[in-house]
């Protein structure tokens, strides 16, 4: 997908958390290409400057350290954004604490693990919204995109804390949409399927990749650019009537009923049409 000349975000100021790599970095590139001035934020101890140099090849960008779990740090990031660009139009709440080995089933859950994941993903996203809304409302409103996950939409055997934080983000999205529509703020969430970031490419065995792919209606894993495109769409002026929604961006993973073993054979025996035949 080449959006090199697709300037749908001219005159917008966008703030992306967790922008140093993966989905956040791809989103920074897409928003900069679209004409937005982009503030890339990530934890103070990561090399956000190198990532920002990459994005600078595509448009105007600044960067700033933040720990979204810490309210003072969030306030400082919003102040930096306003000092640098004078306004905030798009807030992409992308940062997350994920993939912890200790984040398992409920009986094995350590309180400290639960709390640390909630501190970043749930509290952090709420704090970013809180201070982002204050900034956005000063210039007539804006669009918040909260990055959620399909893990919040159905049960699983592991990553309980992470999935529950994404459930909290889905609910927060509807509350913010409800509470701040009157000041011109839209808020939507994206429930991502498995995205093939560089990190995932290194760690996902081929067998697992094949298994996940086999469940997608569109038979591939997601690309960071798939998500970046949705963020650009929801952040743009093309979606003024869309708020309070949770969009699955997952290759159709949750659109299809699970097929139990033998079901296809049974349907064929009943002479029903299977898979479009």
Ligand X SMILES: NC(=O)c1ccc[n+]([C@@H]2O[C@H](COP(=O)([O-])OP(=O)(O)OC[C@H]3O[C@@H](n4cnc5c(N)ncnc54)[C@H](O)[C@@H]3O)[C@@H](O)[C@H]2O)c1
- Chain residues binding ligand X by CB under 6 A are 17-18, 20-24, 42-43, 46, 66-69, 94-98, 120, 124, 147, 149, 192, 194-195, 197, 199-200
Nearer to ligand X by Cβ, of 18 and 59: the residue is 18
Q: How far is the CB of 255 from ligand X (least distance, A)?
A: 16
Nearer to ligand X by Cβ, of 46 and 181: the residue is 46
Selecting among 85, 162, 180, 212, the annotated active-site residue is 162
Nearer to ligand X by Cβ, of 249 and 266: the residue is 249
Cα dihedral value 53, 139, 227, 121, nearest 10: 90
Q: How far is the CB of 50 from ligand X (least distance, A)?
A: 12
Q: What one-character-per-residue DSSP string does 100-165 give? A: -TT---STT--HHHHHHHHIIIIIIHHHHHHHHHHHHHTTT-EEEEEEEEGGGSS--SS-HHHHHH
Q: How far is the CB of 104 from ligand X (least distance, A)?
A: 17
Question: How many Cβ atoms are within 10 Å of 8's Cβ, its own excluded?
Answer: 18
Residue sitting closest to ligand X (CB): 22
Question: How many Cβ atoms are within 10 Å of 213's Cβ, its own excluded?
Answer: 14
Task: Bin 63: left if φ > 0, else alpha if -120 < ψ < 50, else beta.
Answer: beta
Q: How far is the CB of 121 from ligand X (least distance, A)?
A: 7
DSSP 258: P
Whether 175 is catalytic: no
Question: What are the structure tokens assigned to 72, written together?
Answer: 């003072």
Nearer to ligand X by Cβ, of 101 and 277: the residue is 101
Tell me the catalytic residues.
162
């Amino acid at each position: 997908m080449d959006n090199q000349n697709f300037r749908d975000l001219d005159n917008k100021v966008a703030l992306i958390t967790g922008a140093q790599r993966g989905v956040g970095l791809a989103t920074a590139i897409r928003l900069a290409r679209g004409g937005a001035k982009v503030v890339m934020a990530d934890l103070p101890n990561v090399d956000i400057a190198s990532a920002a140099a990459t994005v600078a090849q595509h448009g105007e960008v600044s960067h700033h350290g933040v720990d979204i779990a810490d309210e003072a740090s969030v306030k400082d990031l919003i102040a930096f954004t306003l000092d640098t660009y004078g306004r905030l139009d798009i807030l992409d709440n992308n940062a997350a604490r994920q993939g912890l080995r200790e984040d398992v089933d409920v009986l094995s859950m350590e309180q400290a693990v639960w709390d640390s994941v909630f501190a970043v993903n749930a509290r952090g996203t709420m704090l970013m919204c809180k201070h982002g809304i204050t900034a956005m409302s000063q210039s007539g409103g804006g669009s918040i995109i909260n990055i959620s996950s399909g893990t919040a939409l159905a049960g699983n055997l592991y990553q309980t804390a992470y999935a529950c934080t994404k459930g909290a983000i889905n609910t927060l999205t509807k509350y913010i949409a409800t509470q701040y529509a009157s000041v011109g703020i839209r808020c939507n969430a994206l429930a991502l399927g498995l995205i093939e970031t560089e990190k995932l490419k290194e760690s996902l065995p081929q067998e697992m990749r094949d298994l996940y792919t086999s469940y997608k209606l569109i038979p591939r894993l997601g690309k960071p650019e798939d998500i970046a495109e949705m963020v650009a769409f929801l952040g743009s002026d093309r979606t003024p009537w869309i708020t309070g929604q949770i969009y699955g961006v997952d290759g159709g993973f949750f659109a299809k009923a699970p097929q139990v073993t033998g079901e296809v054979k049974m349907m064929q025996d009943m002479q029903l049409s299977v898979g479009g035949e």
